[in-house]
Amino acid sequence: MFFRERFDAVALLLGMIFLVFVRSSNADAQDMEARAYSAVPIDTNFLIGGYERTTGSVSLDPSLPIQGIQASINTGLIAYDRTFDLFGQAASAAILIPYFQAQVSGKVFDAPNQVTRKGLGDIRVRFTENLIGNPAQTPAEFAQREPSTTLGVSLTVDAPTGDYNPQHLINISSHRWAVKPEIGGSQPIGNWFIDGAAGVWLFTVNPDFFGGHTRGEDPIWSFQTHVGYNFRPGLWLSADATHYLGGDSIIDGINSHDFQAATRVGATLSIPIGEGFSAKVAWASWLAARRSGDYNTIGFQLQYRWFDP
């Protein structure tokens, strides 16, 4: 009985740490995104492939029998985005499919332990509608416009489509729906730009959590800002920052009091590399974190853009 209880403790501790890193890595893929609300022409298509690597550690209460926690997450992604006219304003719809290979290791009760998972993550769909400053314009019309303030809203939905096994405590998929309404905007100042956005993640309950339990999660509030410079069309650099907080886990209706908060900073560089092609490099690290891990992320994306005939 003692060894069974100890095994369950090991699985639970490593499992929760794994979930923190996967959830944070997946959030960063979209939640620290410069120029998400900048003006774009309609009838434009974007095909994106990318890779991200997240590595870091977790600092726990020294009274807990777990030490030296290290995590690494490799994420591949493919996405498609298309802009169109909606009520005379520019709008867009995008879909993103991630693939995770993740590992968390550390010592529990002075014994080395390791958790590894790989598989498809939950599909993410995002709809964005402009409200101010980006009327529906063809690429030719858009090329003649004067940059102006933009304001828009978006709705992001994560569908429970990823790899999940209720017999495993640790899974790639959260096996629940997640929805994020957000409002954001962009302000050009000469060659400079300032972006900002605020939103909240809302979650349904996972009704088939490990051991026949249910798992819910309180909302997570997120805020982000970016300051950047346009060197020429397609070539820009931004400094990025984000803060999020909330997300207490609720198991069978009982709050786990694992509130998380984090402040992260980073930088993004976009480089045009040919007709219709561009590359993006992004880096992010932490300033302060509570139950969200002290981790660093480096990401690369290749984008191809084309216009409808």
For residues 156 and 154, what is the distance between their CA atoms, to the nearest angstrom?
Answer: 7
Strands (E), the chain: 44-58, 66-86, 89-108, 111-120, 124-132, 150-158, 178-189, 192-203, 206-209, 213-217, 220-232, 235-246, 249-251, 254-255, 260-274, 277-290, 294-307
The structural domains of the chain, with segments of one domain joined by +, span: 2-307
pLDDT given for residue 6 in this prediction = 42
CATH class entry, domain 2-307: mainly beta
pLDDT, residue 94, reads 97
Q: Which residues in the chain come in under a pLDDT of 50?
A: 1-10, 25-30, 61
Q: How many angstroms separate the CA atoms of 166 and 161, rounded?
A: 14
- Residues 74-103: pLDDT tens digits? 999 999 999 999 999 999 999 999 999 988
Whole-number pLDDT of residue 198: 97
Per-residue pLDDT, 247: 84
pLDDT of 50 reads 96
pLDDT by residue (tens digit) across 116-173? 889 999 999 999 999 999 999 999 999 898 999 999 999 999 999 999 988 877 788 8
